[in-house]
Chains A and B, each alone.
Chain A
Amino acid sequence: MISGAPVTLSLEASVLETLRGFYALWPYLILVAGILLVLVVDWFQSSAKSQRVSWIALLACLGSAVSLTKLWPTVLDRPVLLGWNALVFDPFSVFFSLFFLVATFIVITTSRTSKELAGRRMGEYYALLLTATLSAAFLAASQNLVLLYLSFETLSLSSYVLAGYAKDRREGVESSLKYVLFGAVASGIMLYGLSLLYGMVGSLELRDVAKMASQPSLSFLLVMVLLMAGFAFKMSAVPFHFWAPDVYQGAPTPVTAYLSVVSKAAGFAVFLRFAAPMLGVPLFSQAVEEMPKELLFAFLSLLWILATLTMTFGNLVALRQTDIKRLLAYSSIAHAGYMLAAIVAHNQAAYEAVVFYFVAYAIANLGLFFAAQVIHADKGTFDIAGFRGLVHDSPVLAASIAVLLWSLIGLPPSAGFMGKFFLFVALVKQGIASSIASFYYVLVLIALANSVISLYYYIGIIRQMAFYEPSTMLPVCRPTFTARFGLATAAALIVAIQLYWQPLTDLSRAATGSKTPVRAVASYGLVNSTPPRNLAVGDQQ
């Protein structure tokens, strides 16, 4: 593991590298500035006016997103490597960064009106939210095991605190504790896998890790299984899903929305980044390192089983839920299963499909959690009974919720349908090309059967809204204009994507790199040297 000749870096080279890195790091530095500013400004606010700092957080998100869009054409042309191959800014990571920022922006706006968070100091909340977003973005961009683990932990830690942010609610604190325990176990297992991997490969870089995969070894599969623990925890896939229902239920609703979208997407992004070169279809700037057939098949079978278990379990348990947040938690587990199923297809179409699916899923989930929050604000309950007769209270709200649910079922006309459509196209494509076609077709059938199961509980909510008179025991729901407008926009977006999905597929194509040919990578390091690889060995004793 120790390389022969000691590598010394000249100080100037290091400084130069750091300075150059600012170019691509700029969006993230804005976020860091936002975090610090939020914390500091909050000290000077009275508790009642603490909500004001959300403006700073919003501005930070906006600024970061704007500078990311400026970065986009550059990385589309040539991906940027930073910090001696620690981070890579290619369309994939920039897309996910943007995705996280937009989601965070929405979560911040919903947090501003949340009753569950009202009357608390919000400085820490927004700082944690921005930190989580930053680390999620780094997670998607990490090209180095150390950075991968560090950003993973940062995301986890900030999520733990966010989940328990409502201090005085017993279930909030309880769920947060559960989250911590599960997270600690999962990240411990993952860290073990990472250190084993480092021991085997002798390098921290993902591309060297991928090279390792091309030699058949069972221990490598073991490492992958260990690492899957961490990834599955973030994706909330079976068997590391147990935290999800409790945490989703116990956490403040905006945080739940955040976890179900950003945290999950980060898990998928880093998994794709990690596994793509080994599956034979690399993202940008990754060399293809195909696994040996048996090893690949073993790994795919593992994913296959995980996907099947995840979606079936999520959907079956969701059938029995009466709490909307819990129901959505199980539904989001099921959706993780669908996306895992697409990854089994391991082709370019599958990656595109996952990206597409995530956008559709995010719109629906953010909208539905917001709707749950709005209804809770007026009716004081997260029970599905709160949806009863909603169409009489506010037709716009009810119709928007129905559209979002429709999209989650995957029925046309909705973005969710197109998402599922692309997932299945990817699987069928692989099935036709493969010699073990039924391996993929059976998965498609299972996913389709799961869609039918999911119909039951999603439609259950629609039934509650449309078929019944509102309960007289509960107050009438009177959503504000902004709430109605926001939800109607989400619903319109869902339908619009069905009617014209070209921009979104173009985006997902660009983000996974099937359109742009792979070009040379711009490394903002020393111009002509490969980056140092290992611990520099000093003088001998």
Chain B
Amino acid sequence: MTLLAVIFYIAAAVAILATGAVLFARNAVNAVLYLLVSLFGVALMMYSLGGAFVAILEIIVYAGAIVVLFLFVIMMLNIARIEQHKDLQPPTRPQLLVPVILALVLMADLGIAIYAAAAGVSSGKTITVTAIGETLYRQHYLGVELASLVLLIGLIGALHLGSAAWFTHQKEANQDGTC
């Protein structure tokens, strides 16, 4: 087993564990933390396979965006209601224990990766940004166009449904005064 394979399997194990934990986490904030760990794990996996750029994208787009999205969710969910919901409270310390351990494992994994890079171990194939760009915009240009359409309708849909949730909530609150 090469060093890269070790990195890969550790990251994969963490990713799977963390993803499973997302499903079973009872606290919403906690679940997001698990999700973050999982995404970092996936990013490391990508890196170990030679996809450095994809790994970075994974962190910037997913990990970065998820946190922002979570913020949005809390913002849209009417502050007054948060205090009544158990699963929206900040996680307690014991709840934080597992994510922290998983994150530490990942950090150790990252340490190995840095060591490996310093030692000159590489998978022998690295997909460059240029290559990805060329493939996407030449070979898969239709896919890119379609993806932009997905984003557009995703935006429209989010706008519509988001406002719908707010709208119904207001209406119900006005009607019976309870939540």
Contact = CB atoms under 8 A, between A and B. Distances in A.
A and B, direct touch (CB closer than 8 Å):
yes
Interface of A: 2, 8-9, 14, 18, 21, 32, 35, 39, 82-84, 86-87, 124, 127-128, 131, 134-135, 138, 144, 146-147, 150-151, 153-154, 157-158, 160-161, 164-165, 167-168, 170, 173, 176, 531-532, 535-541
Nearest to B131: A538
Given A531-B139, A537-B125, A128 B153 contact: yes
7 contacts: A35-B152, A84-B140, A124-B160, A135-B146, A161-B153, A164-B164, A538-B131
Interface of B: 122, 124-128, 130-132, 134-135, 137-143, 146-147, 149-150, 152-154, 156-157, 159-161, 163-165, 167-168, 171
Contacts of B134: 8-9, 536
Contacts of B163: 167
Nearest to B147: A150
Contacts of A157: 150, 153-154, 157
A21 B134 CA distance: 18
Of the candidates B122, B134, B157, the one having the most CB atoms from chain A within 10 angstroms of its own CB is B157
Of the candidates B141, B142, B154, B165, the one having the most CB atoms from chain A within 10 angstroms of its own CB is B142
Given A154-B149, A154-B153, A161 B140 contact: no
Contact of B168 (A39, A167, A535): A167
Contacts, number: 111
Nearest to B138: A14
In the A-B complex, the 4 residue pairs with the smallest Cβ-Cβ separation, listed nearest first, are: A167-B164, A161-B157, A83-B142, A538-B131
Nearest to B142: A83
A158 B153 contact: yes
A164 B149 CA distance: 20
Of the candidates B122, B134, B152, B153, the one having the most CB atoms from chain A within 10 angstroms of its own CB is B153
A82 B168 contact: no
Nearest to B158: A161
A164 B142 CA distance: 29
B126 A540 contact: yes
A531 B141 CA distance: 13
Contacts of B149: 32, 35, 131, 134-135, 154
Of the candidates B143, B152, B167, the one having the most CB atoms from chain A within 10 angstroms of its own CB is B143
Given A150-B150, A541-B122, A160 B139 contact: no
Nearest to A121: B160
B161 A9 contact: no
A535 B135 contact: yes
Contacts of B135: 532, 535-536
A173 B128 contact: no
A42 B123 CA distance: 53
A538 B153 CA distance: 34
Nearest to B132: A535
B126 A84 contact: no
A134 B153 CA distance: 12
B168 A147 contact: no
Given A83-B142, A150-B146, A158-B157, A539 B164 contact: no
Given A158-B157, A161-B160, A167-B164, A86 B150 contact: no
A336 B139 CA distance: 35
B159 A124 contact: yes
Given A128-B156, A150-B146, A165-B160, 10 more contacts: A14-B137, A82-B142, A83-B142, A147-B142, A161-B157, A164-B164, A168-B164, A168-B171, A532-B135, A536-B135
Of the candidates A2, A160, A537, the one having the most CB atoms from chain B within 10 angstroms of its own CB is A537
Nearest to B137: A14
A539 B126 CA distance: 8
Given A151-B146, A531-B139, A170 B168 contact: yes
A350 B130 CA distance: 47
A84 B135 CA distance: 11
A104 to B, nearest CB: 15
Contacts of B168: 167-168, 170, 173
A134 B168 CA distance: 31
B179 to A, nearest CB: 15
B150 A146 contact: no
A165 B156 CA distance: 11
A9 B138 contact: yes
B140 A86 contact: yes
A127 B147 CA distance: 16
Given A86-B143, A146-B140, A540 B125 contact: yes
A131 B153 contact: yes
A86 B142 contact: yes
